[in-house]
Structure 1
């Protein structure tokens, strides 16, 4: 039986691409198969994360004082 603490540690460690499933299993003292059996979304946790596109542009930016922080235009 795998303890909830072991599963939590595995879930916390899996998203880091520097840690292989094999290394995590060895570190936690379980087999790779045990991780796959007890963490149904293991493949999704291992998938690369693609950040969502940022909304708006620099032209829409506002500085902390509430003033427009978009591109500055210089007067001729």
Structure 2
């Protein structure tokens, strides 16, 4: 996950889902390293893997100024 230009340092970041693009969902996977680029891995259930393949997960990065999330990006399969 790469990001830049936020109002301040990231204070939290999560992968949320499952949700269609533009819809909200609860956090599923907290991201521990917050400095861009965020790198990491997680083990998913079969249902989570299917939802990920279907594009139903997104990353939300939070700042002190925007506690509900300052920037968000839907996770899509690379072509």
Normalising TM by the smaller chain, what interval? Answer: under 0.3
Report which of the two has the higher share of helix: 1
Report which of the two has the higher share of strand: 2
Which TM-score applies when normalising by structure 1? 0.26
Max Rg structure: 1
